[in-house]
Amino acid sequence: MTPSTADHPQMSVEEFEELARRAPETVTLEFINGKLEVKPVPDMPHGAIVMWLIRQCMQQRPELALYPEQGLKVESYREGRAKADGALAPLDHFVAQPGEWAAPDGVLMVVEVTSHDSDTESRDRIEKRDGYAQASIPVYLLIDRDDDTLTVFSEPRNGTYQQKPSYKYGDAVPLPDPVGITLDTEKLKDYAR
């Protein structure tokens, strides 16, 4: 059996969107690199981390909003569909965009918080990172709960992020322009397992 890739997808984007529309509310589907993926239901610490980040962003950049679970069209030709744990954009940015899957234009940063499941390695650390870089989203913040780190991917060029410094929970984490804020991550130690 041939593995699914963007060149040989499991289904068309249209078929995926129809399937995602019909899925129960308790199931979140994504279409990354030509394959259907089920996003795990977040646990309580996952939700607390997203809320912590929303507060940090609102305090430092009140003209922006961190939209949780925002559906985005990603990858080179926007043939992928990802539900970012957070998408930082100007207030009301997504209001005028119809449907569940928005164009990535105008998104300053996407955020993923890893889940404790077997797919997190390929999904959050590789496939979504590459899809966000291909969509030219300026910053991808990966909050990795397996090793209590934050990795700031930036400067997308030719489908790859050029910069990727990592920080431990408790460090001051600078998010480069166009985000332009510094995260105080001491609170994340409370959510470590």
pLDDT 10s digits, 21-69: 776 666 665 566 677 676 555 666 888 999 999 999 999 999 999 999 8
Of 137, 143, 141, 160, nearest to 152 by C-alpha is 141
pLDDT 10s digits, 95-122: 988 788 999 999 999 999 988 666 655 6
Instruction: List phi, psi (to 5°) of 16.
Output: -60, -45
Task: Categorize the per-residue pLDDT at 8 as very low, low, confident or very high, splitting at 50, 70 and 90.
Answer: low
Domain annotation covers residue 110: yes
Task: Categorize the per-residue pLDDT at 2 as very low, low, confident or very high, splitting at 50, 70 and 90.
Answer: very low
- Over range 78-86, report the average pLDDT: 85
Domain annotation covers residue 182: yes
Q: Which of 16-30, 87-101, 141-155 has the lowest mean pLDDT?
A: 16-30
E strand intervals along 40-187: 64-74, 80-90, 109-113, 139-144, 149-157, 160-163, 166-168, 172-175, 181-184
| Residues counted in the chain | 193
Looking at residue 34, its pLDDT comes to 73
Report the C-alpha gap between 191 and 188 in whole angstroms.
Answer: 5
Domain annotation covers residue 79: yes
Q: What is the extent of the structural domain holding 174?
A: 42-191
Domain annotation covers residue 35: no
pLDDT 10s digits, 156-174: 999 999 999 999 999 999 9
Domain annotation covers residue 15: no
Domain annotation covers residue 37: no
CATH label of the domain that carries residue 150: 3.90.1570.10
Domain annotation covers residue 144: yes
How many domains are there within the chain? 1
Domain annotation covers residue 32: no
